Amino acid sequence: MNDCPQQSCFVPDTGCALGHVDLSACPKYRGSGKDTSVPEPTDAVLLPWSGSALGLADLAFVAGRARPRIIATIGPQNAGKTTMLGAWYLLLGRGAADLRAGQFAGSFSLAGWEAVAESLRWAPGQAPGFPPHTASRSGRAPGLLHLSFRVGQKQPVDYLFTDAPGEWFQKWAINKDGPEAAGARWVAEHADVLLLVADREALSGTSKGSARSALQLLAARVADERKSRPVALVWTKSDVPIAPAMEESVRQSVFGPIPEAEEFSVSITPGDNGEQLVDGTLTRLLDWTLTSRQPRAVLPPAPSGSGDPLFMYGVRSA
Ligand SMILES: Nc1nc2c(ncn2[C@@H]2O[C@H](COP(=O)(O)OP(=O)(O)OP(=O)(O)O)[C@@H](O)[C@H]2O)c(=O)[nH]1
Ligand SMILES: [Mg+2]
């Protein structure tokens, strides 16, 4: 329950947005514990974040340093998007990932990451499972999971990974302006890198025909909306075999309109030991995701009769 009328303040889950440590001094606070007695002195301070997945109201807090890079995982329902995020988190936790983006430098949503990765963990006497289905909330933005990475002593770079329900993207593929596509529209508009997830299990199952047309629609939508941002086709559940013709037709629907797209295949299968998460492709995909950038415009060199930068411009070539 929110005890503050301000939209950007989530007391008592997080600290006071106006910075009051003693809430009774805050002019806006109208908490349930409207206790006017002097509180016991304590060293405990509420932090400005709760650790859960971030929402739009929390973005200003993360974006204070610099605009975070947003990584979108786009794919149909049950495609393995949340599983992939959880597996990345476990990889980082093991320190197994050797990334060009640098070293893990913190997260404001550790509890959110734990929630997606919890079921993938190997507990003694209990086989790891998969994360639960991501519920389609009425929200206009997905749950955002935060990570930051730092190279050497440089400023850390913040990343937000979207964990959105597949239904959003299926509706967005059919009608991008529909009210139910608001969340997917947000993702498509703000993402810096787009990962289009193709589910090999669905593409080889009984309803593979409809899975293929849904994915082709989604690929066409991504191609329309991407505006030169980097895109990767990510085959999930690569342990499941699929017909070569099916694979080829999905590939064509992605590489036809987006020839420069990258392609990865990942698999996260809970087996008899906890080791299979250390998969080279998973690390390579994370590495690519964190470091790929939109191509920059290359300016033509200035025609110049002199090597001196001061005289480079304004010189008419004879
Ligand atoms: N065989 C196999 N199955 C997988 C793999 N990864 C995920 N799965 C299965 O796919 C199911 C869905 O995975 P999720 O990660 O929840 O899928 P999602 O894309 O987040 O789905 P929504 O949240 O519903 O949009 C899991 O319950 C697993 O059964 C894999 O690598 N191999
Ligand atoms: Mg999910």
Q: Can you give the CATH number for the domain in which 68 is found?
A: 3.40.50.300
Same-domain status, 37 and 61 = no
Cα-to-centroid distance, 136 and ligand 1 (Å): 16
Report pTM.
0.82
Q: Which residue puts its alpha carbon closest to atom 23 of ligand 1?
A: 134
At residue 88's C-alpha, the angle toward residues 54 and 56, to 5°, is: 15
Instruction: Determine the residue of 84, 116, 130 to mutate for testing ligand 1's pocket, defined as the one with the most ligand atoms within 8 A of the Cβ atom.
Output: 130
For residues 41 and 169, state if they share a domain: no
In this prediction, residue 313 carries a pLDDT of 63
Q: What is the pLDDT of residue 169?
A: 93
What is the pLDDT averaged over residues 9-16?
Answer: 74
What is the side-by-side strand order in the sheet with 103-104?
A: 103-104, 143-150, 157-163, 69-74, 193-199, 231-236, 262-265
**CA 140 to centroid of chain Cα atoms:** 15
Q: What is the pLDDT of residue 268?
A: 84
What does each C-alpha distance from 193 to 130, 228, 286, 315 come to in angstroms? 25, 10, 11, 42
Within-domain flag for 196: yes
Give strand ranges (E) for the chain.
Answer: 69-74, 103-104, 143-150, 157-163, 193-199, 231-236, 262-265
**Domain membership flag for residue 209:** yes
Residues 158 and 61 in one domain: yes
Which ligand lies nearest to the CA atom of residue 201 in the structure?
A: 1
How many angstroms separate the alpha carbon of residue 24 from the centre of ligand 1? 47
Q: Are residues 40 and 60 in the same domain?
A: no
Pocket of ligand 1 (CB under 6 A): 75, 77-83, 130-131, 133-134, 165-166, 201, 236-237, 239-240, 267-269
Residue 239 within any structural domain of the chain: yes
Domain check: are 156 and 38 in the same one? no
Q: How far is the CA of 34 from the centre of ligand 1 (A)?
A: 45
Are residues 11 and 112 both part of a single domain?
no
Distance CA 182, CA 136 (A): 12
Clarify whether residues 69 and 38 are in a common domain.
Answer: no
Q: How far is the CA of 81 from the centre of ligand 2 (A)?
A: 5
Q: What percent of the chain has pLDDT over 90?
A: 42
pLDDT value at position 112? Answer: 87
Mutate to test the pocket of ligand 1, among 73, 77, 78 (most ligand atoms within 8 A of CB): 78
Report d(CA 149, CA 170) in Å as an integer: 32
Q: Give the CA dihedral 188, 182, 70, 110, nearest 10 degrees.
A: -150
Strands 262-265 and 143-150: unpaired
Residues 43 and 61 in one domain: no
Q: What is the mean pLDDT of residues 132-138?
A: 65
Greater model confidence, 63 or 301: 63
Distance between Cα 60 and ligand 1 center (Å): 31
Cα 237 to middle of ligand 1, angstroms:
8
Are residues 209 and 252 part of one domain?
A: yes
In a domain, 318, yes or no: no
**Number of domains the chain is built from:** 2
For the record, the structure tokens of 248 come out as 């080829």
> Which ligand places an atom closest to the C-alpha of 78?
1
Q: What is the mean pLDDT of the chain?
A: 82
Residue 27 sits in which domain range?
Answer: 1-48
Note the ligand closest to the C-alpha atom of 236: 1
For residue 246, pLDDT beyond 80: yes
Residue 305 has pLDDT above 90, yes or no: no
Measured distance CA(86)–CA(133) in Å, rounded: 13
The residue whose CA has the least distance to atom 28 of ligand 1 is 130
Is the pLDDT assigned to residue 21 strictly greater than 80?
no
| pLDDT at residue 303, rounded to an integer | 67
Q: Which residues pair with 150 in a beta bridge?
A: 103
Residue 218 maps to a domain:
yes
Q: Which ligand is nearest to the CA of 234?
A: 1
Burial of 216 (0-12, 13-18, 19+ CB in 10 A): middle
Is there a single domain that holds both residue 38 and residue 182? no
pLDDT of res. 36:
46
In a domain, 166, yes or no: yes
Q: Whose CA is nearest to atom 4 of ligand 1?
A: 237
Q: In the numeric block, which tokens belong to residue 74?
A: 């786009």
> Would the pLDDT of 34 be above 70?
no
